[in-house]
């Protein structure tokens, strides 16, 4: 079964600093990979996804992620954090012919002024 | 284009009661999935419906059930509520069909269920 590990339940950055949220998956077959964001009292919103093709994926709100097969990683980055980026971020993966994703436990991004 | 609509947004029920939650997917989406979100367990998959058929099911007891109607709207039901059922219940719709591209989910805002 697929598993997804997000390193760090909380990440704190200053406004304008680089954002790096880590995600590792366990899969022996090429996965579909996703990042979602959840703001308080809301559902999850799809930020970006990797299916096939280019390993560097650009998403909404200036976020991007790079699929690294050799490291089984799909880390999320943003060059410059904004206060509005403060939210919970979830990495998800599906593979083996199933569309049902397994979600990581989430990383809370805290942005300091 | 309307998003995924979940009703009600908030619900308080007493232990032992039953509850029905509703989800209207994005127009054209035939796949509807349900998740339970709690601080302790994170996001856990309940079930997925596609064209009125349950296609996948998670590891939840039989007290949790669902269905999908011909217009793709879905309901989930929890019978004999327990305190541990308190959670945010999220519905997600998708363009995913049986094969092909994995489009990912569009989530609703959820129903916050509190069991007292």
Partners of residue B102 in chain A, C-beta under 8 Å: 32, 49, 51, 94, 99
Please give the structure tokens belonging to residue B20. 């029905």
Query: pLDDT of A97-107, one tens digit each?
Result: 778 889 999 99
Cross-chain Cβ contact B110/A94 below 8 Å: no
Residue of B nearest to A41 (CA): B109
pLDDT band at A33 (very low <50, low <70, confident <90, very high): very high
pLDDT at position A95 is 77
Residue of B12, B106, B35, B20 whose CA lies nearest to B69 = B20
Q: What share of chain B is helix, strand, coil (3-state, %, to 5)?
A: 5, 50, 45
Partners of residue B31 in chain A, C-beta under 8 Å: 99
Q: Does B27 touch chain A (CB under 8 A)?
A: no
For residue B102, give the nearest of A43, A99, A103 by CB distance: A99
Query: pLDDT of B7-51, one tens digit each?
Result: 999 999 999 999 999 999 999 899 999 999 999 899 999 999 999
Q: Judged by CB atoms within 8 Å, which residues 57-96 of B form the interface with A? A: 90, 92, 94, 96
pLDDT at position A109 is 98
Minimum mean pLDDT range among A28-37, A42-51, A81-90, B106-115: A28-37
Residues 6 or more apart in contact with residue A18 via CB below 8 angstroms = A77, A78, A79, A80, A81
Q: Does B26 touch chain A (CB under 8 A)?
A: no
Cross-chain Cβ contact B104/A42 below 8 Å: no
pLDDT band at B71 (very low <50, low <70, confident <90, very high): very high
Q: Does A13 touch chain B (CB under 8 A)?
A: no
- At A28, phi and psi to the nearest 5? -95, -5
Cross-chain Cβ contact A103/B42 below 8 Å: yes
> To the nearest whole angstrom, how far is the Cα of A71 from the nearest Cα of chain B?
22
Residue of A17, A30, A32, A27 whose CA lies nearest to A77 = A17
> To the nearest whole angstrom, how far is the Cα of A108 from the nearest Cα of chain B?
12
pLDDT over 70 at B1, yes or no: no
pLDDT at position A66 is 95
């Amino acid at each position: 079964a697929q598993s997804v590990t997000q390193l760090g339940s909380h990440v704190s950055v200053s406004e304008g600093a680089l954002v790096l949220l880590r995600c590792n998956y366990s899969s022996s077959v090429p996965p579909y990979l996703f990042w979602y964001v959840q703001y308080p009292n809301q559902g999850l919103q799809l930020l970006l996804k990797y299916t096939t093709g280019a390993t560097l994926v650009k998403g909404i709100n200036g976020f991007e992620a790079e699929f690294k097969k050799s490291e089984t990683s799909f880390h999320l980055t943003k060059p410059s954090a904004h206060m509005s980026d403060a939210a919970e971020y979830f990495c998800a993966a599906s593979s083996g012919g199933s569309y049902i994703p397994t979600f990581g436990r989430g990383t809370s991004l805290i942005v300091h002024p | 284009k309307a998003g995924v609509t979940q009703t009600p947004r908030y619900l308080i029920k007493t232990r032992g009661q039953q509850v029905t939650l509703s989800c209207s997917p994005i127009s054209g989406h035939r796949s509807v999935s349900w998740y339970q979100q709690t601080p302790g367990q994170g996001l856990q998959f309940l079930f997925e419906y596609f064209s009125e058929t349950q296609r996948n099911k998670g590891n939840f007891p039989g007290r949790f059930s669902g269905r999908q109607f011909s217009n793709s709207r879905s309901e989930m039901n929890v019978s004999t509520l327990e305190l541990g059922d308190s959670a945010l219940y999220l519905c997600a719709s998708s363009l995913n069909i049986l094969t092909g591209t994995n489009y990912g989910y569009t989530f609703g805002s959820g129903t916050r269920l509190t069991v007292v």
